[in-house]
Amino acid sequence: MKKVMFFMLSIALTLGVMSSCSEVKVDAKSLEGKWNIVEVDGQEVKAEKQPFIEFKMADGRIHGNAGCNTFNSAISMDAKNPSAFTVKLPISTMMACPDMQTEQLIMRTLDKLAGVIANKDKSKYDLIDKDGKVVMVIQKP
Protein backbone atom coordinates (compact mmCIF):
# COMPACT_ATOMS: atom_id res chain seq x y z
CA MET A 1 0.00 0.00 0.00
CA LYS A 2 2.81 2.41 0.89
CA LYS A 3 4.57 1.61 -2.39
CA VAL A 4 1.41 2.39 -4.39
CA MET A 5 0.92 5.71 -2.57
CA PHE A 6 4.59 6.62 -3.07
CA PHE A 7 4.34 5.75 -6.78
CA MET A 8 1.20 7.86 -7.25
CA LEU A 9 2.76 10.78 -5.38
CA SER A 10 5.89 10.51 -7.55
CA ILE A 11 3.80 10.65 -10.73
CA ALA A 12 1.85 13.68 -9.48
CA LEU A 13 5.05 15.54 -8.58
CA THR A 14 6.66 14.70 -11.92
CA LEU A 15 3.63 15.98 -13.84
CA GLY A 16 3.59 19.16 -11.75
CA VAL A 17 7.26 19.85 -12.46
CA MET A 18 6.81 19.13 -16.18
CA SER A 19 3.84 21.49 -16.50
CA SER A 20 5.72 24.32 -14.77
CA CYS A 21 8.58 23.97 -17.27
CA SER A 22 6.38 24.73 -20.26
CA GLU A 23 7.49 28.39 -20.35
CA VAL A 24 9.57 29.00 -23.47
CA LYS A 25 11.85 32.01 -23.20
CA VAL A 26 12.43 34.18 -26.25
CA ASP A 27 15.38 36.44 -27.07
CA ALA A 28 14.13 39.98 -26.42
CA LYS A 29 15.90 41.14 -29.60
CA SER A 30 13.13 39.37 -31.54
CA LEU A 31 10.71 42.05 -30.28
CA GLU A 32 12.25 44.52 -32.75
CA GLY A 33 9.51 46.31 -34.67
CA LYS A 34 5.86 47.22 -34.23
CA TRP A 35 3.38 45.06 -32.27
CA ASN A 36 -0.31 45.47 -31.51
CA ILE A 37 -1.20 45.31 -27.81
CA VAL A 38 -4.01 42.73 -27.69
CA GLU A 39 -4.27 41.94 -23.97
CA VAL A 40 -3.29 43.69 -20.73
CA ASP A 41 -3.53 42.08 -17.28
CA GLY A 42 -5.72 39.31 -18.67
CA GLN A 43 -8.18 41.70 -20.32
CA GLU A 44 -8.64 41.79 -24.08
CA VAL A 45 -7.88 45.25 -25.44
CA LYS A 46 -10.84 46.78 -27.24
CA ALA A 47 -10.26 50.33 -28.40
CA GLU A 48 -11.30 52.53 -31.31
CA LYS A 49 -7.66 53.03 -32.26
CA GLN A 50 -5.50 49.89 -31.96
CA PRO A 51 -2.90 50.38 -29.20
CA PHE A 52 0.62 49.39 -30.25
CA ILE A 53 4.18 49.26 -29.00
CA GLU A 54 7.28 49.53 -31.17
CA PHE A 55 10.60 48.20 -29.94
CA LYS A 56 13.85 49.73 -31.20
CA MET A 57 16.25 47.50 -29.32
CA ALA A 58 19.43 48.76 -31.02
CA ASP A 59 18.54 52.31 -29.96
CA GLY A 60 17.36 51.27 -26.49
CA ARG A 61 13.93 52.85 -27.08
CA ILE A 62 10.27 51.92 -27.19
CA HIS A 63 7.38 54.06 -28.32
CA GLY A 64 3.77 53.49 -29.15
CA ASN A 65 0.19 54.52 -28.70
CA ALA A 66 -2.02 53.45 -25.78
CA GLY A 67 -5.21 54.03 -27.76
CA CYS A 68 -5.16 57.84 -27.73
CA ASN A 69 -1.90 59.14 -26.29
CA THR A 70 1.57 58.36 -27.57
CA PHE A 71 4.29 57.18 -25.20
CA ASN A 72 8.08 56.89 -25.23
CA SER A 73 10.54 55.18 -22.93
CA ALA A 74 14.02 53.73 -22.64
CA ILE A 75 14.54 49.96 -22.66
CA SER A 76 17.70 48.11 -21.66
CA MET A 77 18.59 44.48 -22.23
CA ASP A 78 19.76 42.18 -19.44
CA ALA A 79 23.30 41.00 -20.26
CA LYS A 80 22.86 37.71 -18.35
CA ASN A 81 19.35 36.77 -19.51
CA PRO A 82 18.56 37.37 -23.21
CA SER A 83 14.79 37.24 -22.62
CA ALA A 84 14.88 39.90 -19.89
CA PHE A 85 14.82 43.67 -20.15
CA THR A 86 13.99 46.78 -18.13
CA VAL A 87 11.63 49.56 -19.23
CA LYS A 88 12.02 52.99 -17.64
CA LEU A 89 8.95 54.94 -16.53
CA PRO A 90 7.39 56.11 -19.82
CA ILE A 91 6.46 59.65 -20.76
CA SER A 92 3.33 60.34 -22.78
CA THR A 93 1.12 63.00 -24.27
CA MET A 94 -1.80 63.91 -22.02
CA MET A 95 -4.88 64.26 -24.20
CA ALA A 96 -8.28 63.51 -22.65
CA CYS A 97 -9.83 60.57 -24.45
CA PRO A 98 -13.21 58.79 -24.37
CA ASP A 99 -11.71 55.42 -23.29
CA MET A 100 -9.28 56.32 -20.53
CA GLN A 101 -9.62 52.91 -18.80
CA THR A 102 -7.74 51.06 -21.54
CA GLU A 103 -5.28 53.94 -21.83
CA GLN A 104 -4.51 53.97 -18.10
CA LEU A 105 -4.23 50.18 -17.88
CA ILE A 106 -1.64 50.12 -20.67
CA MET A 107 0.33 53.04 -19.21
CA ARG A 108 0.40 51.45 -15.71
CA THR A 109 1.68 48.20 -17.20
CA LEU A 110 4.54 49.54 -19.35
CA ASP A 111 7.14 50.02 -16.62
CA LYS A 112 6.29 46.58 -15.15
CA LEU A 113 7.54 44.86 -18.32
CA ALA A 114 10.60 42.73 -17.55
CA GLY A 115 10.82 39.95 -20.14
CA VAL A 116 9.30 37.98 -22.96
CA ILE A 117 8.14 34.37 -23.32
CA ALA A 118 6.45 32.47 -26.13
CA ASN A 119 2.67 32.41 -26.32
CA LYS A 120 0.69 29.25 -27.19
CA ASP A 121 -0.42 31.18 -30.28
CA LYS A 122 2.78 31.37 -32.34
CA SER A 123 1.81 34.80 -33.74
CA LYS A 124 1.92 36.37 -30.26
CA TYR A 125 4.40 36.99 -27.46
CA ASP A 126 3.69 37.25 -23.74
CA LEU A 127 5.40 40.10 -21.92
CA ILE A 128 6.00 39.30 -18.27
CA ASP A 129 6.75 41.22 -15.09
CA LYS A 130 9.72 40.54 -12.79
CA ASP A 131 7.77 37.71 -11.09
CA GLY A 132 7.07 35.93 -14.40
CA LYS A 133 3.38 36.91 -14.53
CA VAL A 134 2.02 37.66 -18.01
CA VAL A 135 1.00 41.33 -17.96
CA MET A 136 0.71 42.06 -21.69
CA VAL A 137 0.17 40.06 -24.88
CA ILE A 138 1.38 41.50 -28.19
CA GLN A 139 0.84 40.42 -31.79
CA LYS A 140 2.31 41.51 -35.12
CA PRO A 141 -0.14 43.74 -37.07
**Residue-averaged pLDDT of the chain:** 88
Could you report the per-residue pLDDT of 19-41, keeping only the tens digit for each? Answer: 444 578 899 999 999 999 999 99
Question: Does residue 15 surpass a pLDDT of 50?
Answer: no
Q: How confident is the model at residue 12 (pLDDT cuts 50, 70, 90)?
A: very low
> The domain 24-139 is classified under which CATH number: 2.60.40.10, 3.90.1200.10, 3.10.28.10, 2.40.128.270?
2.40.128.270
pLDDT, average across residues 80-93: 96
Q: Which of 88, 98, 28 is nearest to 63 (CA)?
A: 88
Strand partners of residue 34: 54
> Exposure pattern of 82-100 as b/e (b: 16+ CB <10 Å)?
bbbbebeebebeeeebeee
Q: What percent of the chain has pLDDT over 70?
A: 84
pLDDT, average across residues 78-95: 96
User: What pTM did the predictor assign?
Assistant: 0.82
Q: Where are the domains of the chain?
A: 24-139
pLDDT, average across residues 86-113: 94
Question: Does residue 61 surpass a pLDDT of 70?
Answer: yes
Question: In the prediction, which pLDDT does 108 show?
Answer: 96
pLDDT, average across residues 102-131: 96
pLDDT, average across residues 44-67: 95
